[in-house]
Amino acid sequence: GQQVMQIPQYQHVQEGEDFTTYCNSSTTLSNIQWYKQRPGGHPVFLIQLVKSGEVKKQKRLTFQFGEAKKNSSLHITATQTTDVGTYFCAGDSGGGADGLTFGKGTHLIIQP
Amino acid sequence: DAGVIQSPRHEVTEMGQEVTLRCKPISGHDYLFWYRQTMMRGLELLIYFNNNVPIDDSGMPEDRFSAKMPNASFSTLKIQPSEPRDSAVYFCASSLAPNTGELFFGEGSRLTVL
């Protein structure tokens, strides 16, 4: 079945440094979504990418969808303590019946 | 709207006991999902419903797990009998579409089986 891999599993950064997490799928995706989960909280939707090569920005967050629609990345510029949490990608292979497949997430730890 | 509502927020039980988790989706959302989250396995889709009908239950780990959705505003996930390896956070989520729309998660039910 479809597999979605995320790296790194953990990332420690100093406040103000940039952060990037990468997502790779074993199959071509029809779309990819990104979620953020704060410690002790629940996943919250950030964005959805649909088009090959798509780039979307939300303030300090930049999301990219690869040309082959098999990979994606989330980049945070100048991290802040409020960025702490786990970032998940979730892919859909377009089969329609399987629901989204989530990566295991990247845990972002920020040192002040 | 109050969002997806789950209960209980925390459950501690002993091995062998029956556990029932409850979920109220966002009104108007036709899709309801049950996920399990553990450190080892991450977020796993257990089952999802469309218009109260189970569509894909391939993620349900064993016959000990069952889920129902008797109406559009209520779903249950039952574990009977529970085992320590069932300890996890169980999330319910709802959406307007299965794979192309935003998933709205509840706050989760943290289950500990002793």
- Average pLDDT per 10 consecutive residues for chain B, totaling 114 residues: 92 97 96 94 92 89 94 97 97 87 94 98
Quote the tokens at residue A59.
């303030």
Chain A: residue whose CA lies nearest to B41: A104
A106 touches chain B (CB under 8 A): no
- A63: closest CA among A51, A52, A49, A50? A49
Q: Which residue of B43, B50, B58 is the best one to mutate when testing the A interface, meaning the one whose CB has the most A CBs within 10 A?
A: B43
Tens of pLDDT, residues A18-46: 999 999 998 999 999 999 999 999 999 99
Q: What does the pLDDT average to over A3-17?
A: 95
B54 touches chain A (CB under 8 A): no
Paired residues of B1 in beta bridges: none
B39 touches chain A (CB under 8 A): no
B14: closest CA of chain A, how far (Å): 23
B43·A102 Cβ contact <8 A:
yes
Question: A99 CB contacts (<8 Å, ≥6 apart)?
Answer: B33, B45, B48, B56, B98, B99
Quote the tokens at residue A92.
């859909």
Tens of pLDDT, residues A94-103: 655 567 889 9
Chain A: residue whose CA lies nearest to B38: A104
A21: closest CA of chain B, how far (Å): 16
Quote the tokens at residue B37.
């989250």
